[in-house]
């Protein structure tokens, strides 16, 4: 049924870069055979899923939305991919994304943009716009995204779906093609809080193949999503997230969600996190710096594209020609910015300074968590904007992640879930919930209460 749905609508939505109909049907048949044989089934047996094209899939193309990896077929599965298969999930295919996960609109994909199912002329968010659009268009009930600065939560917000960035280290990064290793985090996406929790539990947990993976039990997210009780919970409204630059309807729906929490028995207080206003500039030094280092591996020798290798050119020339042809403008912008920020003489002034800001942000969070159990804010300052509107204005594009970036810099857990439509444009508004590291269950408790 889901393959039929994809066949019917994806020409317009363009959520998928690759539909693996054969693999999906074979996986579904394996589930049927297991069931017929009376074998024990995985927790998500037979449930279809859309996988962001940044996770490696053995024998199935993985492009990261880039020409650089066109035609690359990974020889191994990411840990997330393997855990999905172990849970008997049916992987439908790979979803569209901003190239190497750099962007907030999916317009930076080398394979063309994805439309927002609420209005195909608008962006579905990014970088994981394909996964969010697949959910909103009912092409899949579950999806996987990655969130380096907001790429799970911002697409969830603008498509009226649910997305969670787990605590950094909560879900393995093995086989997740790296953008910014100290920030990247894979996570679950779905249309309900409980579905998201079930998927969270299936993919999370310690992995010896990822040195930053946390070796501790997965927080009880499914139990929390089933409970959904916020009585006595202390909720902090982040003062810095609102006012100028925020759409009136977004603020209105957000305040209604806060009132709902209060009416359900939560204790709402205002908290101030003054360093959050420096999060965006710090992120746009740290993420490009790590990107410039990580993307050095695309040298035309090891993976994918190779341009100009006609026997007359040096390896350096072939590398340069390939990188010139294979990377899009946003990726090049970040490699140049990151290389500059890391170069000697500038390192302390830029990268070192950004790392200090990161510490200040972590301190703001720590101080807030002394007073409250979770923080809330709008997920994004505005609803989905028209495709093309911010394409030539990187600064305007970067503002889409104003509210999501602090939790990546601090490594804590965060969710976006729908909180109604903005009255002025009838487009979905996202409520962001942020919890301390390893307290991911609190997101689900609050999310299930207000859903
Ligand atoms: N939009 C942010 C960026 O462009 C975040 C991307 C992400 O989370 N992968 O870097």
Which one has a higher pLDDT value, 231 or 304? 231
Contacts of 426 by beta carbon, 8 Å cutoff, 6+ apart? none
Report how far ligand 1's centroid is from the alpha carbon of 311 (Å).
38
- Kindly state the tokens that stand for 380: 């994004």
pLDDT of 317 reads 97
Beta bridge partners of 269: 236
pLDDT of 10 reads 98
User: Taking the mean position of all CA atoms in its chain, how far away is CA 52?
Assistant: 9
How many angstroms separate the first and last alpha carbons of the chain?
A: 27
Would you say 415 and 433 are in contact if contact means Cβ atoms under 8 Å apart? yes
User: Residues 357, 359, 361, 367: what is their CA dihedral angle, to the nearest 10 degrees?
Assistant: -140
- Kindly state the tokens that stand for 375: 């923080």
Torsion sign, CA atoms 182, 146, 446, 428: positive
- Show me where the domains of the chain are located: 2-278+355-450
Which of the four CATH numbers 2.40.110.10, 3.40.640.10, 3.90.1300.10, 3.20.20.70 does domain 2-278+355-450 have? 3.90.1300.10
Report how far ligand 1's centroid is from the alpha carbon of 192 (Å).
23
Q: 446 preceded by cis ω (within 30°)? A: no
CB atoms within 10 A of CB 437: 20
Among residues of the chain, what percentage have pLDDT more than 70? 100
Helix-then-strand count for the chain, H and E: 15, 11
pLDDT of 104 reads 97
- Kindly state the tokens that stand for 424: 């002025």
The arithmetic mean of pLDDT across residues 309-328, rounded, is 97
Residue 397, burial from CB neighbour count under 10 angstroms (0-12, 13-18, 19+): buried
Angstrom distances, CA of residue 259 to CA of 185, 239, 264, 302, 449: 31, 16, 9, 54, 12
The arithmetic mean of pLDDT across residues 195-210, rounded, is 98
pLDDT of 172 reads 98
pLDDT of 241 reads 96
Q: Which residue numbers are catalytic?
A: 52, 127, 151
**Distance, CA of 158 to CA of 105 (rounded, Å):** 10
Pocket test residue of 66, 95, 99, 103 for ligand 1, highest count of atoms within 8 A of CB: 103
The arithmetic mean of pLDDT across residues 36-55, rounded, is 97
User: Residues 432, 436, 439, 445: what is their CA dihedral angle, to the nearest 10 degrees?
Assistant: -30
- Kindly state the tokens that stand for 335: 């490699």
Pocket test residue of 107, 126, 288 for ligand 1, highest count of atoms within 8 A of CB: 126
Q: What is the pLDDT of residues 272-299, one digit of tens each?
A: 999 999 999 999 999 999 999 999 999 9
The arithmetic mean of pLDDT across residues 288-317, rounded, is 96
Band of residue 383 on the pLDDT scale cut at 50, 70, 90: very high
**Distance, CA of 168 to CA of 148 (rounded, Å):** 10
Among residues of the chain, what percentage have pLDDT more than 90? 98
The arithmetic mean of pLDDT across residues 194-200, rounded, is 98
Q: For 254, list phi and psi in degrees, rounded to 5.
A: -60, -45
Q: Which helix (H) or strand (E) holds 435?
A: strand 427-435
Q: Which helix (H) or strand (E) holds 188?
A: strand 186-190
Q: What is the pLDDT of residues 394-429, one digit of tens each?
A: 989 999 999 999 999 999 999 999 999 999 999 999
- Kindly state the tokens that stand for 348: 């302390």
Band of residue 64 on the pLDDT scale cut at 50, 70, 90: very high
Band of residue 263 on the pLDDT scale cut at 50, 70, 90: very high
pLDDT of 113 reads 98
The arithmetic mean of pLDDT across residues 308-325, rounded, is 97
- Kindly state the tokens that stand for 187: 């996570």
Residue 104 Cα: closest atom of ligand 1: 1
Q: What is the pLDDT of residues 43-52, one digit of tens each?
A: 999 999 999 9
Pocket of ligand 1 (CB under 6 A): 101-104, 127, 146-151, 179, 287, 401
Question: What average pLDDT does the structure give for the chain?
Answer: 97
CB atoms within 10 A of CB 250: 25
Report how far ligand 1's centroid is from the alpha carbon of 126 (Å).
7
The arithmetic mean of pLDDT across residues 173-197, rounded, is 98
Any idea what the Cα angle at residue 257 is, between residues 441 and 155, rounded to 5°?
A: 70
Band of residue 256 on the pLDDT scale cut at 50, 70, 90: very high
pLDDT of 39 reads 97
Contacts of 117 by beta carbon, 8 Å cutoff, 6+ apart? 9, 13, 124, 133, 136, 137, 159
Q: What is the pLDDT of residues 75-123, one digit of tens each?
A: 999 999 999 999 999 999 999 999 999 999 999 999 999 999 999 999 9
**Distance, CA of 118 to CA of 12 (rounded, Å):** 12
Band of residue 191 on the pLDDT scale cut at 50, 70, 90: very high
Residue 401 Cα: closest atom of ligand 1: 1
Q: Which helix (H) or strand (E) holds 428?
A: strand 427-435
Q: What is the pLDDT of residues 216-248, one digit of tens each?
A: 999 999 999 999 899 999 999 999 999 999 999
């Amino acid at each position: 049924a889901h393959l039929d749905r994809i066949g019917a609508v994806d020409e317009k939505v363009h959520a998928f870069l690759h539909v693996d109909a054969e693999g999906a049907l074979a996986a579904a048949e394996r589930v049927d055979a297991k069931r017929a044989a009376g074998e024990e089934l995985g927790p998500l047996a037979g449930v279809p899923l859309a996988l962001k094209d940044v996770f490696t899939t053995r024998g199935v193309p993985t492009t990261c939305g880039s020409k650089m990896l066109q035609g690359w077929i990974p020889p191994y599965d990411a840990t997330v991919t393997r855990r999905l298969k172990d849970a008997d999930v049916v992987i439908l295919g790979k979803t569209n994304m901003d190239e190497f996960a750099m962007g907030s609109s999916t317009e930076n994909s080398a394979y063309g943009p994805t439309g927002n199912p609420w209005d195909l002329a608008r962006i579905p968010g990014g970088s994981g716009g394909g996964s969010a659009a697949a959910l909103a268009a009912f092409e899949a009930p579950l999806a996987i995204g990655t969130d380096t600065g907001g790429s799970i939560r911002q697409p969830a917000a603008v498509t009226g779906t649910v997305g969670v960035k787990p605590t950094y280290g909560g879900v393995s990064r093995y086989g997740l093609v790296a953008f910014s290793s100290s920030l990247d985090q894979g996570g679950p996406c779905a249309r309900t809080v409980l579905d998201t929790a079930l998927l969270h539990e299936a993919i999370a947990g310690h992995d010896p193949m990822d040195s930053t993976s946390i070796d501790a039990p997965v927080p009880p997210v499914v139990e929390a999503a089933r409970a959904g009780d916020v009585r006595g919970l202390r909720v902090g409204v982040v003062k810095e997230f609102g006012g100028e630059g925020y759409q009136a309807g977004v603020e209105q729906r957000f305040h209604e969600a806060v009132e709902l929490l209060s009416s359900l028995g939560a204790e709402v207080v205002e908290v101030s996190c003054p360093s959050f206003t420096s999060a965006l500039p710090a992120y746009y030094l740290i993420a490009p710096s790590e990107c410039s280092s990580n993307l050095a591996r695309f040298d035309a020798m090891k993976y994918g594209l190779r341009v100009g290798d006609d026997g007359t050119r040096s390896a350096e020339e072939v590398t340069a020609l390939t990188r010139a042809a294979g990377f899009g403008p946003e990726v090049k912008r970040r490699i140049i910015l990151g290389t500059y920020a890391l170069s000697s003489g500038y390192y302390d002034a830029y990268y070192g300074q950004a790392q200090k800001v990161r510490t200040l942000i972590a301190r703001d969070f720590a101080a807030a968590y002394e007073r409250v159990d979770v923080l809330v804010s709008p997920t994004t300052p505005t609803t989905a904007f028209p495709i093309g509107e911010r394409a030539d204005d990187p600064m305007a594009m970067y503002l889409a992640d104003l509210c999501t970036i602090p939790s990546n810099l601090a490594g804590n857990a965060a969710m976006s879930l729908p909180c109604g439509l903005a009255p002025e444009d009838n487009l979905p508004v996202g409520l962001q919930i942020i919890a301390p590291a390893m307290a991911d269950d609190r997101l689900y408790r609050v999310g299930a209460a207000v859903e």
